[in-house]
Amino acid sequence: MPEIPPLRQGDSGNGVRDLHRRLAQVGHPVDGAEVESGVFGAATSTGVRRFQAERGLDEHGLLDAATAAALVEAGLHLGDRHLYLHAPMLRGDDVADLQLRLGSLGFDAGRIDGIFGPDTAGALFNFQRNTGLISDGIAGPATVVSLRNLAGRSSGTTAVAQVRELDRLRRSRPELDDRRLAIGQFGSCGVLTAALTRSLRRRGAHVVALDHPDETTQSQTANRFEAELYLGLRIENHSHCMVSYFATEGFHSEGGLRLAHRCATAVTAAGLTSTQAQGMRLPILRQTRMPAVLCSLAPPAAVVHATAELAEALAGAVADWIADPAADPL
């Protein structure tokens, strides 16, 4: 099926009217003139950018597939629908709210990612069994009422999933030999990806190189490979670099955070400036089931010039993280 082009400034019609309605629902209303005319203008682009910033998405002001999906998810509240294990998995802010409430009561629903997977189903079943509810793994009205009575959306403590992730990291072996790694790239990074892959393989790692342009496809491949780490690469037309890891309200990936800081240090050491680590909710970070980072490298000319240095620096960062993945961020 061909990809639907994103909505952008100058577009009009029912799709733009639906965008205006959804932006208003999530607290980013657009100027009245653009709403009345159904036109995607500067105010609409600003509203989209603000929503993207709030959700940890790329801030380009276009209504692409990731932003459209996030808008739909943001409009879902716990109790709006029955939540249960389903194929494809249910997604939304209602699922994230459920995960937060279960976690605040000590039931490990896995990552707070807004995806109703097996971990969330297991935590929900255990909650129902421990509170005398019908143990059907469905978050219906009775379960939602019980959760609201017993738990807030956040307990102010570290999420159960973060504690368990740190524990797994501390118990992992420190050698790179035979570790399963996924290295992905999103256009224009083929030479760097190949160099990084070769360097990691020389150090003894099993590496799968991914170059599919779709983030969901890459994440599914990395998950099937049972990778212990995902490192993505892309080149941006910006003046600075950024290394992203998964983070959302009430949760961040402990392994991703630590790997991101090591990679940011490595990118700076390779000669690129203004590199920072930042928590985001990009699909590739949200859907991978292992510590994951996305290195957005810039400017393009500097990246090309420093390809060899970047490959070795990032390989060293991965090796250092494998050796001590639970070390506090630098």
pLDDT exceeds 80 at position 151: no
> What would the mean pLDDT of 226-253 be, rounded to a whole number?
94
- pLDDT confidence band for 213 (50 / 70 / 90): very high
Confirm if 16 and 7 have CB atoms less than 8 A apart: yes
pLDDT exceeds 80 at position 186: yes
pLDDT exceeds 90 at position 182: yes
Structure tokens at 183: 């290295």
- Give the pLDDT of residue 239: 85
The model carries a pTM of 0.91
pLDDT exceeds 60 at position 154: no
Q: What is the pLDDT of residues 292-318, one digit of tens each?
A: 999 999 999 999 999 999 999 999 999
All structural domains of the chain: 14-74 (1.10.101), 93-154 (1.10.101.10), 172-323 (3.40.630.40)
Angle between helices 42-55 and 65-74 (to 10 degrees): 70
